[in-house]
């Protein structure tokens, strides 16, 4: 159990360090403090999961730094992609979008984030994990257990509160009308003025979020179906035109052959 509690503490330290990194990046970008992440507290669990996955999966590859670098990029990129995909499907919002950046995959991950993730993986495997686990080894079992249980309890409460805020935001998004994600997001920003600070914080934490709702999804689905039918009709028309042209060409060729045979016979 000592190792389990050590990984739980590693998860929380990774979450806090990830939150600090996100805050610093947005401070540089927007010149103001932004409490990043879906949760209310100063932690981003996706970084905690990444820290645990990296240490568990890559500890056997410590003799090959290149492998650690590449696998860190793969593991963290996969985690970021799945987080983006699941959060969009669950709450109908694109929380971040790298579509404007080069070497992106469906706007969910890009080279600008994968390379830093690889470098962070190197730091985690070779420096952070050995240092922290050495520190944890000096703590008594009761202290490790108390810290782990207490932090997990705080996280569970925060998760419940934050889930309620996400649901409230989703409900608000479904009550507005708009022809684009930009219009819906703007309307929701105006509506949530009367909501609690926990709901308003979500749009502050993700300045580039794009919300959509079931009305827009249905309209886009109908538009996509219409375009699909039109494309299919154009393909069918093109196929028929090609077949007609082939028939005419065959008929013309046959006429030329018959004319040639008649000239030879005469």
Dist. CA 108–CA 212, nearest whole Å: 17
Q: Percentage of residues in the chain with pLDDT exceeding 70?
A: 86
Write the DSSP string, 172-211: HHHH---SSHHHHHHHHHHHGGGS-HHHHHHHHH-TT-EE
Query: Per residue in 128-151, pLDDT tens?
Result: 999 999 999 999 999 999 999 999
Query: What integer pLDDT is reported at residue 133 of this predicted model?
Result: 92
Q: Which two tokens stand for residue 180?
A: 């684009």
Q: At what angle do helices 111-123 and 45-58 cross, to 10 degrees?
A: 60
Q: What is the mean pLDDT of residues 101-106?
A: 86
pLDDT in tens, 237-246: 888 888 888 8
| Burial class of residue 177 in the structure, from the number of CB atoms within 10 Å of its CB (0-12 exposed, 13-18 middle, 19+ buried) | exposed
Residue of 107, 110, 133, 112 lying closest to 51 (CA atoms): 133
Opening angle at CA 155, ends 56 and 189, nearest 5:
115
Is it the case that residue 171 has pLDDT exceeding 70?
A: yes
**Mean per-residue pLDDT, 110-133:** 91
2-44 pLDDT, tens digit per residue, is: 889 999 999 999 999 999 999 998 899 888 898 888 898 999 9
Fill in the DSSP letter of residue 94. E
pLDDT of residue 199 exceeding 80, the answer is no
The whole-angstrom separation of Cα 45 and Cα 19 is 9
**Per-residue confidence (pLDDT) for residue 177, from 0 to 100:** 62
* 29, 58 contact by CB (below 8 A): no
Instruction: Determine the Cα–Cα distance for residues 181 and 187; give it in Å rounded to an integer.
Output: 10
Instruction: Report the candidate in 124, 109, 3, 10 with the shortest Cα–Cα distance to residue 68.
Output: 124
pLDDT tens figures, 223-232: 667 777 888 8
In degrees and rounded to multiples of 5, residue 203 shows phi and psi of -75, -25
In angstroms, the CA 188 to CA 67 distance is 45
Mean pLDDT of the residues in the chain: 84
């Amino acid at each position: 159990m000592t190792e389990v509690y050590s990984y739980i503490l590693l998860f929380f330290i990774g979450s806090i360090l990830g939150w600090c990194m996100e805050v610093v990046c947005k401070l540089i970008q927007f010149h103001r403090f932004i409490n990043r992440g879906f949760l209310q507290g100063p932690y981003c669990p996706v970084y905690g999961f990444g820290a645990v996955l990296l240490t568990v999966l890559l500890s056997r590859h410590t003799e090959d730094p290149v492998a650690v670098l590449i696998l860190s990029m793969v593991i963290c990129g996969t985690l970021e992609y799945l987080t983006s995909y699941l959060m969009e499907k669950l709450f109908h919002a694109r929380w971040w979008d790298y579509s404007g950046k080069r070497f992106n995959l469906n706007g969910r991950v890009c080279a600008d984030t994968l390379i830093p993730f690889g470098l962070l993986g190197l730091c985690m495997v070779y420096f952070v994990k050995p240092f922290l686990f050495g520190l944890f080894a000096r703590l008594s079992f009761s202290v490790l257990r108390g810290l782990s249980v207490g932090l997990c309890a705080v996280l569970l409460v925060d998760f419940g509160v934050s889930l309620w805020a996400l649901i409230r935001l989703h409900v608000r998004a479904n009550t507005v009308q708009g022809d684009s994600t930009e219009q819906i997001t703007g309307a929701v920003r105006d509506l949530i003025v009367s909501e609690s600070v926990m709901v308003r914080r979500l749009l502050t934490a993700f300045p580039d979020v794009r919300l959509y709702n079931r009305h827009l999804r249905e309209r886009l689905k109908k538009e996509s179906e219409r375009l699909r039918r039109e494309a299919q009709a154009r393909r069918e028309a093109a196929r028929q035109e090609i077949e007609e042209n082939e028939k005419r060409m065959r008929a013309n060729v046959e006429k030329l052959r018959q004319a040639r045979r008649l000239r030879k016979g005469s």
